Amino acid sequence: MTTPVLPERQPREAVAIIGAGVTGLALGAATSAPVFEAADGPGGLCRTYYMAAGDPEVRYGPDGIDDAYRFEVGGGHWIFGGDESDLEYLDRFATFRRYQRRASVRLGALGLTVDYPIQAHIDSLGSELADAVRSDWAGRTAGEAPRTLEGWLQASFGPTLFRIFFGPFHDRYTAGLTPVIAAQDSYKSPRGTAKGYNTEFRYPVGGLGAMIAAMASHCDIRFGKQVVGIDPDRRRLTFSDGSEHAYDRVLSTLPLDQAVAVAGIRLSAPADPHTSVLVLNIGAHRHPGCPDVHWQYEPDSDSGFHRIGFYSNVEPDFLPRRPSGPARVSLYVERAFPGGAQFPLDIEKYAAAVVSELQDRDYIGDAEVVHPNWVGTAYTWSYPESGWRQTATEALAGIGVEQVGRYGRWHFQGIAESVGEGRSVGHSLHP
């Protein structure tokens, strides 16, 4: 593939970008400003790596590792949504395949697996449960809008679906926050027969890592630069290695609560919550019971995880390039925890329990690679009527720090939208 040629951009002021995830890379390409990244490579959560059976080394390039499974930091990152301009922009960096989503809901307690979204497939629940769901929907009346996610789920889908899926799944997905956080991202759980927000998604041929590398080639990235301080009086960024960088303006993709802390800003209102996620990336022998879906929602897994994603059901390139041998599968398993916890489990014990559960289901046989990723800020939430996000964003803007991106602005969006936001903010510096 020919390396894309992007227009040169020279910042008109001393702009500094924090974070080389997809938003930071789009900002860097649009401005030519330096991008400061704490890790030793680009991509943030959208970083690809490889591991071979029996080898603990994590490798970030595919050369010479035909015997390795491919994984991504934090689980699978599939590209959905985004406007046509942003998708055309990404086409400069990779060739994409398109996929029609295949997803399911496993109701272990009922011995059922139902196509996702469950509310569009209630007949698969059996006549008794399906009739109960229809009765719930028929008796639904308009009332005061629920303040919490728990209340919204109950009002939207009724007590039957809430009991068997929406309640237990979201309790795990939010790490117990459903009774206290506001309803948000309603398009993820549409009412009635709508199919949801990610019915079609894209993924780059050759993997996400190749796309990230192509984007990074158009940026001035300084790796190993973890920002530990923002001094608004001296207009200096301070890094963990003791070095500093002068700025007039900062474009920050740091999670909003972290940016506030690094800048030394004190706010009277408590920060809105977030959840952390422990992801187990697993490469294993594939057994006949392994689902042929892209991901599966799990409201009642024995091990406590809430979702399984199957990398190799999307792209076989996630598997070792072996000419023979047993069938294999590359997958990831997600479990959420209250934000800020640091590996709250015995990882080896938990990993063994997950592998055992997947084996008992006949999804996998021998697990050749089991590797944990800890995502400290995975999903962001808000308390009802909270003004923290706006207050924090405005306080940072007052010292020349503009928050950009999914975590920077504390809202959910996919890769394409994050790239689009980075491009838009970057181009706004050059009217």
pLDDT tens-digit profile of 371-413? 999 999 999 999 999 999 999 999 999 999 999 999 999 999 9
Contact in structure between 272 and 385 (CB atoms under 8 Å): no
φ and ψ at residue 280, rounded to 5 degrees: -105, 120
Extract the tokens encoding 362: 């006949």
Element (H, E) at 388: helix 388-397
Residue corresponding to tokens 């759980």: 189
pLDDT tens-digit profile of 83-128? 899 999 999 999 999 999 999 999 999 999 999 999 999 999 999 9
Contact in structure between 310 and 331 (CB atoms under 8 Å): yes
Distance CA 73, CA 66 (A): 20
Which whole number is the average pLDDT over 287-292?
97
DSSP state at residue 162: I
How far is residue 270 CA from its own chain's centroid?
24
DSSP state at residue 91: T
Please name every residue paired with 52 in a beta bridge, in sequence order, or none if there are none: 68
* 3-state secondary structure (DSSP) of residue 416: helix
pLDDT for position 194: 62
Distance CA 103, CA 57 (A): 32
Distance CA 262, CA 240 (A): 12
Extract the tokens encoding 338: 């209250």
Distance CA 100, CA 102 (A): 7
Contact in structure between 102 and 91 (CB atoms under 8 Å): no
Extract the tokens encoding 237: 């960024």
Residue corresponding to tokens 């940072």: 396
Query: Domains of the chain by range and CATH?
Result: 1-97+203-269+385-431 (3.40.50.720), 103-188 (no CATH)
Instruction: Work out whether the CA dihedral 77, 367, 357, 314 comes out positive or negative.
Output: positive
Whether the per-residue pLDDT at 337 is higher than 80: the answer is yes
* 3-state secondary structure (DSSP) of residue 279: strand
Element (H, E) at 277: strand 274-286
Whether the per-residue pLDDT at 332 is higher than 60: the answer is yes
Which whole number is the average pLDDT over 355-383?
97
Q: Write down the pTM of the prediction.
A: 0.93
Distance CA 398, CA 402 (A): 9
Contact in structure between 68 and 52 (CB atoms under 8 Å): yes
Extract the tokens encoding 190: 């549409």
pLDDT tens-digit profile of 246-260? 999 999 999 999 999
Q: What percentage of residues in the chain have a pLDDT greater than 90? A: 83
Extract the tokens encoding 160: 């039957």
